[in-house]
Amino acid sequence: MREVRVDDVLYRTGTGGRLHIPGCPHIGSSLREADKTERLAMPVCSWCRAEIDGVGRSYHDTLEDAMRAFGCHVGTTALIRHALRSVTFDQIWLPYSRSYLALGHEGRGVAWVGKTYVMPSPDLFVELPGYRDSAGGGQRTEARVGATCPAHHMTRSVTGVCELCE
């Protein structure tokens, strides 16, 4: 495990207890650069620790190769290239989690692409079309239930059997 260098830029959220690099999937609120005291006192998040250590990264020669490996939707690749047109980078990688692809310059992440977004810089977020916000949990279906038993006032199973009538 490599020590976090003094020149590594680490961030923290207003309420979080761990340090992060830009593009970390754990970040859900605005970031600010961690000061010297916070860098000494706070641990680095496990995802960012792996990213800093280079665990399992897969490097790619071109953005097209990386987008293909990442699984970018064909309809968004032109938008992604357009959003990243002014980014200077010398590395392209997918982290071990394969949760995003990153463009790096001189060893630091400078831009990120997720399934639903492009971040050409830490302060610019571009939502990709086709994104459907949800509360998670997959497809929701109505539970199937049977009629109410007139004798016991309990919901019967779908087969119509009341547990107490058996």
What are the pLDDT digits (tens) for 22-38? 767 677 667 788 888 88
Residue with the larger pLDDT of the pair 55 and 42: 42
pLDDT computed for residue 111 by the predictor: 95
Q: Do the domain assignments include residue 150?
A: no
Q: For the full predicted model, state whether its pTM sits above 0.85.
A: no
Q: Is residue 154 part of a domain?
A: no
Range of the domain at 75: 56-130
If you search the block for the tokens 């310059």, which residue do you land on? 105
Under 8 Å between Cβ of 5 and 52: no
Q: Establish if 146 belongs to a structural domain.
A: no
Q: Give the total number of structural domains in the chain.
A: 2
Characterize the bridge pairing of strands 101-105 and 91-94: antiparallel
Question: Do 65 and 125 share a domain, yes or no?
Answer: yes
- Which of 59-63, 74-78, 139-143 is predicted with the least confidence, judged by mean pLDDT? 139-143
Q: Which residues lie below 8 Å from residue 139, measured CB to CB, with a gap of 6+?
A: none
Domain-located, residue 44: yes
User: Residue 103 has what pLDDT?
Assistant: 94
Q: What is the mean pLDDT of residues 99-122?
A: 90
**Are 127 and 116 contacting, i.e. CB atoms less than 8 angstroms apart?**
yes
Comparing CA positions, the residue from 118, 25, 3, 123 lying closest to residue 63 is 118
Domain-embedded: residue 164: no
Burial of 91 (0-12, 13-18, 19+ CB in 10 A): middle
